[in-house]
Structure 1
Amino acid sequence: MPTIFSCQLPSGGWINLAQVRQLEPDPPTGKVVVTWLNGEKQLFDGENAKAILQGWQDANQKCRCHDQQNNENDY
């Protein structure tokens, strides 16, 4: 079953954070480089970069909660 962690960008597009291999934020410039699972890199800046970083944090939080629930059910 495919995994989807959708993130709406302020510019109007959507991205699936489950397809991200790596995020490289550059706080001084407010930019983030996304490396996709296929190895391609894409630069985001401004509000789009902020939305991606926030979406990444939200997705990680959801995964941690899910992992904790699964671990509790193992006992």
Structure 2
Amino acid sequence: MSAFRNHCPHLDSVGEITKEDLIQKSHGTCQDCKVRGPNLWACLENRCSYVGCGESQVDHSTIHSQETKHYLT
């Protein structure tokens, strides 16, 4: 990923996350309203384990991203 960081400096803040981590998080619940998936978003920021609901619910993921300036997937 270091080659991409030369072109995308915002990737320096993205932590290591595996496909398995994302699958596990997608089967969880929003940390704020406790709604269950499938429309959950995981924070990619280093050392942040936030998972929030998307637009089909309250959209806590966007609120988290805007308040913290973290990237989500």
TM over 0.5: no
Q: TM-score, normalised by structure 2?
A: 0.24
Q: TM-score, normalised by structure 1?
A: 0.24
Q: Which has the higher helix share?
A: 1
Q: Which has the higher strand share?
A: 1
